Amino acid sequence: MIQRTISILGSTGSIGTQTLDVAESCGIRVAALTANHNIDLLEQQARIFKPVLVAAADMTAAAALAQRLSDTEIRVMGGQEGILGAASIPEADTVVTALVGISGLEPTLAAIDRGKRIALANKETLVCAGPLVMARAREKGAEIVPVDSEHSAIFQCLQGSGHKEVKRILLTASGGPFFGKTAAELENVTPAHALKHPNWSMGAKVTIDSATLMNKGLEFLEAMSLFDVPPEKIQILVHRESILHSAVEYCDQSVIAQLGSPDMRLPIQYALSWPERVPGPANPLDLFSCKALTFAQPDMETFRCLALAIRSAKEGKTAPAILNGANEIAVAKFLAGEISFLDIARVVEYALETVPREEADSLEAIRRADRLAREAAEACCAQR
Ligand code: MG
């Protein structure tokens, strides 16, 4: 049992549905659920978990949902107001932020302002506004516990240790579906190819980001904020088997790693049960069935998105927000068949080269960087 009441922002996505698996298995109460427009699934979830509130970001979907749930006591809201309502609902002590992209930023801040624990599955929030979000969380006493499998691993490896003792973070990457390929071989990759991930089942945005290795770049930025480390203290290791989920190297040369089967329900559950551990639904790891654990350097010449992300990490200011905004557009255009796979990095690079930097010290500066990056990316896509 986990004594928590949660609100899930993005309950119909991959993280959201797996969070509900954990909730069912661990006796976690559910106060609110939100989705964009998948009201068929949202209605089903609402009838099973009986939250106080459900919200759909799409107003038309919300109206239809209200109609469908009119035989229940469940409150239905729509639009950004509904998402913010779910983020700040008094009944929940924990908010699982499983929204995609920078849309997760404001709801996450709303939950932080209520002092709730954030089970953070929306990495773009920390990529774009890491220092701002972490400072606000400290000020409001809101715990931020990562759900991303690598960051959960690092968080687990850091338990009981001091920040000063950390020498390096070893951030693992599966390498994605195109590991070992050359740029020439990637020129004609289609969305269908890129959507097949070897180890993890995830949403479309993060699956494409995994194929370009942008996901690892975003995770690099996420780790800098979560664990307060500079870029020099993060080493990326390609680890094809996705068994060792990341590690921490300490000043005495000890390396502490977390291993487990590639099952997101484990990091989701830990974000909810921390600092305790409880039995849950995740698949066990059978080390005898693991043939070998291998580690390699990432190929940043072929997977240029990763190099661009690390460049933006070293530069700081609004560079990561620009990188992220341009990437969100580029991935959407690739999925729509409007640009090629290799164009994703070209579009992101164009935005990084053309959008001016600012200090990332206010929400306004971050929003401006995001907007300008999207405009630059759209313009770049239009020429392709
Ligand atoms: Mg991850």
The rounded Å distance from CA 170 to ligand 1 centre is 13
The rounded Å distance from CA 50 to ligand 1 centre is 30
The rounded Å distance from CA 165 to ligand 1 centre is 24
Band (pLDDT 50/70/90 cuts) for residue 244 is very high
The rounded Å distance from CA 124 to ligand 1 centre is 12
Instruction: Give the Cα separation of 16 and 203 in Å (integer).
Output: 11
- What is the predicted pLDDT for the residue at 147? 98
* Amino acid at residue number 100: V
pLDDT at 201 over 70: no
Any bridge partners for residue 168, and if so which?
249
The rounded Å distance from CA 247 to ligand 1 centre is 13
Task: Report residue 324 as tokens.
Answer: 């992220």
Residue 130 gets the label, from left (phi > 0), alpha (psi -120 to 50) or beta, of alpha
- What is the predicted pLDDT for the residue at 198? 67
- For residue range 264-281, list pLDDT tens digits in order: 999 999 999 999 999 999
Tell whether domain 5-146 is in CATH 3.20.20.70: no
Any bridge partners for residue 257, and if so which?
247
Band (pLDDT 50/70/90 cuts) for residue 384 is confident
Every domain of the chain and the residues it spans? 5-146, 164-260+298-382
Contact between 258 and 151 under an 8 Å Cβ cutoff? The reply is no
Residue tagged 């850091």 (tokens): 158
Instruction: Give the Cα separation of 94 and 85 in Å (integer).
Output: 14
Same fold for the pair 5-146 and 164-260+298-382: no
Instruction: Give the Cα separation of 45 and 16 in Å (integer).
Output: 10
The rounded Å distance from CA 15 to ligand 1 centre is 12
Residue tagged 């929940």 (tokens): 92
Burial of 56 (0-12, 13-18, 19+ CB in 10 A): buried
Contact between 44 and 50 under an 8 Å Cβ cutoff? The reply is no
The rounded Å distance from CA 218 to ligand 1 centre is 9
Q: Once rounded to an integer, what is the mean pLDDT over residues 115-125?
A: 96
Residue 6, H or E segment: strand 5-9
Instruction: Give the Cα separation of 167 and 78 in Å (integer).
Output: 46
The rounded Å distance from CA 230 to ligand 1 centre is 19
The rounded Å distance from CA 213 to ligand 1 centre is 11
Kindly state the percentage of the chain with pLDDT values over 90.
Answer: 95
Ranking 287-291, 325-329, 371-375 by mean pLDDT, the lowest is 287-291
Ranking 145-149, 156-160, 192-196, 316-320 by mean pLDDT, the lowest is 192-196
- What is the predicted pLDDT for the residue at 203? 81
Task: Report residue 6 as tokens.
Answer: 């949660």
Tell whether domain 164-260+298-382 is in CATH 3.20.20.140: no
Average pLDDT value over all residues in the chain: 96
Instruction: Give the Cα separation of 222 and 100 in Å (integer).
Output: 14
Residue 54, H or E segment: strand 53-56
Band (pLDDT 50/70/90 cuts) for residue 204 is confident
pLDDT at 249 over 70: yes
The rounded Å distance from CA 9 to ligand 1 centre is 18
- For residue range 24-44, list pLDDT tens digits in order: 999 999 999 999 999 999 999
pLDDT at 200 over 90: no
The rounded Å distance from CA 147 to ligand 1 centre is 8
Instruction: Give the Cα separation of 265 and 244 in Å (integer).
Output: 16
The rounded Å distance from CA 238 to ligand 1 centre is 13
Instruction: Give the Cα separation of 161 and 25 in Å (integer).
Output: 30
